[in-house]
Amino acid sequence: MKKAIVTGSSGFIGYHVCKRLILDGYIVIGVDDMNDYYDVNLKIARQKELLMLKNFTVINSKIETPGLMIRLFEEHKPNLLIHLAAQAGVRYSIENPRAYLDSNIIGTFEILEAARNFPPDHLLIASTSSAYGSNKEMPYKENVKADHQMSFYAATKKSSENIAHSYSHLFNLPTTVFRFFTVYGPWGRPDMALFKFTKAIMENKPIEVFNNGNMKRDFTYVEDLVNALILLIKKVPNNLADLNKYKNDSLSPVAPYRVINIGNSRPEELNDFIVEIENATNRTAKKIYSAMQAGDVPSTWADSALLNEITSYKSKTNISQGVKNFVDWYREFYEKN
């Protein structure tokens, strides 16, 4: 059986990725430090769900712990590495930048050192649409210049992309970096808009709507994102064979390294998103409108043409169904807990 190491395995996306890999026949070794950036009980619940499945083990430790990742790679010799662990959140990076430096940059370095010594068939590394920074030309294309990040969070993720490219070039490590666009769905993070809005609306409390609601996001349903990742696993970058194979490819000319968007390719107005939550909860939101927050951007929108060309991927879940699925999960989870 093939083995995969998944960092951030008890996180929102990590949970869904691990579950899918196990169902697809992988032995999965998860790594998660279970930090308290948001409710640890939610992470514990995700981990319990995974531990009920065969072929899953987990190490609860920080990826930046010196030597941890190289020991895991030496022991398990993974065929696949999916690196999802990161300190997330734009606004928290203003309050606690050290956490982002440690997890996002030093943690990624530890993983790349391990991969250098025990190379997997494919490294897949999570980045973010925030890496596009101040770019105003949309939809975002992978090969546009992205040098002006708007938050320290985004800066650490873009730095990790650059570090991964250097390792890919120096040690011939096949690497796909995927930039996520506002992922949502069941088991989602409490610090994200869908969770916060749903919780407040269900408790008859007001929601804070930034930039007076004049925001657009390319909301990506989590199961669609996981489907894209699974398709990408088999699309191992080869800069010699693949160069000029795909239109507007982001493939490096000097390394088996590619950056690729995973989004819905359809930006939604924040106010329309709130309406979907109101419909799913059958309640009306009490809104408090506020100015744009520091480090945030008014709009994100993925050009997914490269992903579609390489994998034939198409998103399947519209926003109405996706929001309903989350609200249904939220009600069931908190009734039990």
Closest CA to 64 of 6, 7, 123: 7
Phi, psi torsion values for 128, nearest 5 degrees: -150, 155
Q: Can you give the chain as a three-state secondary structure string?
A: CCEEEEECCCCHHHHHHHHHHHHCCCEEEEECCCCCCCCHHHHHHHHHHHHCCCCEEEECCCCCCCCHHHHHHHHHCCCEEEECCCCCCCCHHHHCHHHHHHHHHHHHHHHHHHHHHCCCCEEEEEEEHHHHCCCCCCCECCCCCCCCCCCHHHHHHHHHHHHHHHHHHHHCCCEEEEEECCEECCCCCCCCHHHHHHHHHHCCCEEEEHHHHCCEECCEEHHHHHHHHHHHHCCCCCCCCCCCCCCCCCCCCCCCEEEEEECCCCCEEHHHHHHHHHHHHCCCCEEEECCCCCCCCCECCECCHHHHHHHCCCCCCCHHHHHHHHHHHHHHHHHHC
Task: Verify whether residue 313 is a known catalytic residue.
Answer: no
Q: Up-side HSE of residue 208: CA atoms within 13 Å toward CB?
A: 7
Buried b (16+ CB within 10 A) or exposed e, 87-97: bbbbebbeeeb
Selecting among 15, 140, 153, 330, the annotated active-site residue is 153
> What are the catalytic residues?
153
